[in-house]
Amino acid sequence: MAKNDQNNDLMEKIVSLTKRRGFIFPSSEIYGGFGSSYDYGPIGAELKNNVKQAWWDEMTKFQDNIVGLNSAVLMSPKVWEASGHLTEGFADMLAECKKCKRRFREDHIEEGKCPECGSELSEGRKFNLMMKTFIGSVEDKAATAYLRAETCQGIFINFENVRESMRMKIPFGIAQIGKAFRNEITPGNFTYRTREFDQMEMQFFVHPDEADKWFDYWKDERLKWYLGLGIKKENIRIREQKKDELAHYAKKAVDIEYRFPFGWQEIEGIHNRGDWDLSNHSKHSGKDLSYADEKTGKKFIPYVIETSAGADRSTLTFLINAYEEISGGRTTTTESIKEKEVVLRLNKKLSPVKVAILPLSKKEELAKKTRETFDLIKVKFESQYDETGSIGKRYRRHDEIGTPYCVTVDFETLEDNAVTVRDRDTMKQERIKIKELTEYLSKKLSQ
């Protein structure tokens, strides 16, 4: 199979697996779908929450000088005037096909011809990506507001509130996870580019003289985060943006890129935003957002080093990275022999279900013991009680959603009060006493 076909094939398999196993559904499907919008199902919601939680822990819990924030999606339109999103460069060049009228991002077109029908394209024109809405009952200019295009503007306008209330001293950071919206001309590649997405952003406020040092620091830290959660080294890289790629606010930027089936693409940006944001918000709001050095009393506008990741892109990245097909069947049940099996080798921290509790059979005698085991485990770990289908099918189902441990309750359990624990990756099975199970799993899940 040609490389391109293999890659398309992999994306198709991911889309199909995520639908089949309750990770991601096309939005509004019963109405024929709604362009590039997706819903996270029960398993996907857990996975995405785990991605967000891992980021939140890393950026707030494990740091002494970063605090969290949860700001509103709707803000004064003045915020977006000050930030430059309405006036400067927050726009893509849009080109329209003269024949079929389809619209494309000019920088995504390689040959100046319509990718759909091959006809000539119109001259490119600027298209602002801010998503408009109206506040209140009148739909006029005065009522126009915007859904935020990046979460960090909520951080900049709260710089003083956070600094004062939390007695923060530079260097310090503010972290936030939340929805952002962009009227993308060409969304696509499943959840890679959508018009509604979650960002995980951290703005680190520093003295201008220290900006380069912190930029390098956060670049390394962020790369380590992905590697620490199992992203394969050969599939992730850092690429410095060229001058003509920089966003209107950035002095310097690098992208963390992942090798997707559709090519190397950005998953996170690390930007030196200089004093762009705080200066502009000072100017537009009339509020002094400068910072007085504790020792010298000298005032300066802090520079911002930002780390900006997408929760949906990260989730997709972890899914693709974890996907593995094993030919010939790896479980020993006859029905799976020679069939391809899928294992999602997710980092255990990210796995949507940590432990599956499986009675060997649906027979009444096992139900009570299995229930008891489930009740013991579910208060400690994200668990699933699963009794439908043969044991082999259930193992495969849990391999496909990345469950690290399957606990089987069998007839011997009634005699010896022990269960069989199967490891997703090694497929090794161990017999563990029920009274030692919580401790055993705690240990295993923290490794």
Q: Give the binding site for ligand GAP (CB under 6 A).
A: 150, 152, 182, 184, 193-194, 197, 199, 201, 266-269, 306, 308-310, 312-313
Report the run of H or E that residue 313 belongs to, with start and end. helix 311-322
Report the run of H or E that residue 211 belongs to, with start and end. helix 211-228
Task: Provide, rounded to whole angstroms, the least separation between the CB of residue 200 and ligand GAP.
Answer: 8
Task: Provide, rounded to whole angstroms, the least separation between the CB of residue 309 and ligand GAP.
Answer: 5
Residues 66 and 306: their CA atoms lie apart, in Å, by 12
Angle at 264 between CA 24 and CA 38, to 5 degrees: 15
Task: Provide, rounded to whole angstroms, the least separation between the CB of residue 123 and ligand GAP.
Answer: 25
Residues 227 and 249: their CA atoms lie apart, in Å, by 28
Task: Find how far residue 121's CA is from the centre of its chain.
Answer: 34
Residue with nearest beta carbon to ligand GAP: 310
CB 357 within 8 A of CB 384: yes
Q: Which is nearer to ligand GAP, 46 or 184 (CB)?
A: 184
Q: Which is nearer to ligand GAP, 50 or 153 (CB)?
A: 153
Q: Which is nearer to ligand GAP, 253 or 360 (CB)?
A: 253
Residue 60 has what DSSP assignment?
I
Q: What is the CA radius of gyration of the chain?
A: 25
Task: Provide, rounded to whole angstroms, the least separation between the CB of residue 285 and ligand GAP.
Answer: 19
Query: Which residue, among 23, 51, 50, 21, has the nearest Cα to 38 in the 3D structure?
Result: 23
Report the run of H or E that residue 78 belongs to, with start and end. helix 77-83
Task: Provide, rounded to whole angstroms, the least separation between the CB of residue 151 and ligand GAP.
Answer: 7
Q: Which is nearer to ligand GAP, 114 or 267 (CB)?
A: 267
Residues 322 and 316: their CA atoms lie apart, in Å, by 10
Helices (H), strands (E): how many in the chain? 12, 23
Angle at 98 between CA 92 and CA 104, to 5 degrees: 25
Task: Provide, rounded to whole angstroms, the least separation between the CB of residue 255 and ligand GAP.
Answer: 7
Q: Which is nearer to ligand GAP, 52 or 422 (CB)?
A: 52
Q: Which is nearer to ligand GAP, 86 or 445 (CB)?
A: 86
Residues 316 and 344: their CA atoms lie apart, in Å, by 12
Task: Provide, rounded to whole angstroms, the least separation between the CB of residue 261 and ligand GAP.
Answer: 17
Q: Which is nearer to ligand GAP, 171 or 310 (CB)?
A: 310
Q: Which is nearer to ligand GAP, 182 or 281 (CB)?
A: 182
Angle at 180 between CA 248 and CA 163, to 5 degrees: 75
Task: Provide, rounded to whole angstroms, the least separation between the CB of residue 217 and ligand GAP.
Answer: 18
Task: Provide, rounded to whole angstroms, the least separation between the CB of residue 443 and ligand GAP.
Answer: 34
Q: Which is nearer to ligand GAP, 312 or 400 (CB)?
A: 312
Query: Which residue, among 267, 400, 279, has the nearest Cα to 344 in the 3D structure?
Result: 400
Q: Which is nearer to ligand GAP, 318 or 405 (CB)?
A: 318
In Å, what is the CA distance from 434 to each residue of 19, 170, 299, 385, 386? Answer: 34, 51, 63, 16, 18
Task: Provide, rounded to whole angstroms, the least separation between the CB of residue 312 and ligand GAP.
Answer: 5
